[in-house]
Amino acid sequence: MDTILKTHNLTKAFNGVEVISNVNMTIRKGEIYGFLGPNGAGKTTLMKLILNLIKPTSGQIELFDEALTYSSYEFLNRIGSIIETAVFYDRLTGYENLELHCEYMGYHEDQAIEKALQMVDLAHIGKKKVKEYSLGMKQRLALARAIITKPELLILDEPINGLDPVGIKDMRNLLKKLNKEYGVTILISSHIISEIEQIADKIGIIKNGHLIQEIKLEDTRMEMKTCFEIVVNDSKKAALILLNTLNLENFKVIDDTTIRLYDFKHPQTEIMNALIQNGIQIDAFLKKKDSLEDYFLKNVIGGETSA
């Protein structure tokens, strides 16, 4: 089984309005797949469709090499998930919630709960009832619940929601570890591009219910260009100088004070000299690589600032 998930023209409409349209996505085994998209794009809806919580209007989902039907449910014990804000049985403690979870999943392993709590740094929650937990603690408990049965596929909807920077780093490391050491396939959604960038192998970009692009991160890295980023006091004047004095065209004016140069024919010093001699004040001159955020904004949101 090479592909864990495949969707064919998956469509979902609520009251006649299509919220997911003809989505064809593929997730291979062992991959970390990042869902990227603005609020309301349909990321959570797609995840619910995969979990069979929502039924498709048309199209098909193939999970673990089997097509999903209205009444499918056995596949669910191979999946761990966090959908929307994590909910628990508030009257019970975190430990009891996990106990219930294991019972329902049919998972019986000694010390599994202790291990899972340790992995998410909640080892000493003791007898505290979940209604007394902070948001960060609930998120951690949700992650513990998702991973405790050692699932083959993890579906995580904005899992870093509510976590502090340390928590975010811990979760990132934990997910990477689960992926590398246990071969867990992970589907993770976020609007925080920098987080996805650090962890995903493949990215699916969703906008208005359409899967606009599916790209491997290594491919984007080739497209994300290196450039010289020059911070000056007057970028328009500097642009003219680059054009007229150095015959450089391959650059972009980002704003009043920033230019990005994609041409490396001329050495740094030559460019700097040309600018200084013409009265331009240089505040910074860096070699920079496009981040995924720039790539995303450029190619997806479709805004390009031009010279």
Partner 1 sequence: MHKLMKLESKKYNFKRYIFKAISITLILITFLLLIFFADQEISGKTFMDIHQIYMLSKTLVNISFLILASVMLGRIVIGEYDKQTISILFSYPISRKKLILSKLLLICSFIFIAIICATTLLTSTLYVVSHIYYDTPFDITPQGYWSLLVNLLINSLAYTCLSTTSLYFGLKKKSSTRTIIAGVIIALFLGSNIGDFSLANIILVPIVFAVVGIFFTSMVIKNLEQTDI
CB of 292 to partner 1, least distance (A): 31
Nearer to partner 1, 72 or 250 (CB): 72
Nearer to partner 1, 53 or 192 (CB): 53
CB of 214 to partner 1, least distance (A): 25
Nearest of 103, 137, 112 to residue 122 by alpha carbon = 137
Radius of gyration (C-alpha) of the chain in whole angstroms: 24
Nearer to partner 1, 74 or 181 (CB): 74
| DSSP string over 50-119 | HTTSS--SEEEEEETTEE--TT--GGGGGEEEE-SS----TTSBHHHHHHHHHHHHT---TTHHHHHHHH
CB of 264 to partner 1, least distance (A): 52
CB of 89 to partner 1, least distance (A): 5
For residue 254, the SS3 value is: strand
Nearer to partner 1, 75 or 262 (CB): 75
Distances (CA, A) of 39 to 11, 18, 161: 19, 16, 14
Distances (CA, A) of 45 to 66, 210, 299: 21, 12, 24
Nearer to partner 1, 76 or 307 (CB): 76
Nearer to partner 1, 6 or 78 (CB): 78
CB of 104 to partner 1, least distance (A): 4
Residues 6+ apart with CB under 8 A from 237: 278, 279, 280
Q: Hey, what are 79's tokens?
A: 């999946």
| DSSP string over 187-225 | EEEES-HHHHHHH-SEEEEEETTEEEEEEEHHHHHHHS-
CB of 14 to partner 1, least distance (A): 8
CB of 11 to partner 1, least distance (A): 14
Nearer to partner 1, 91 or 287 (CB): 91
Contact residues for partner 1, defined by CB under 8 A: 48, 51, 53-55, 70-71, 73-77, 79, 81, 83-85, 87-92, 96, 100, 103-106
Q: How far does CA 31 lie from the centroid of its chain? A: 13
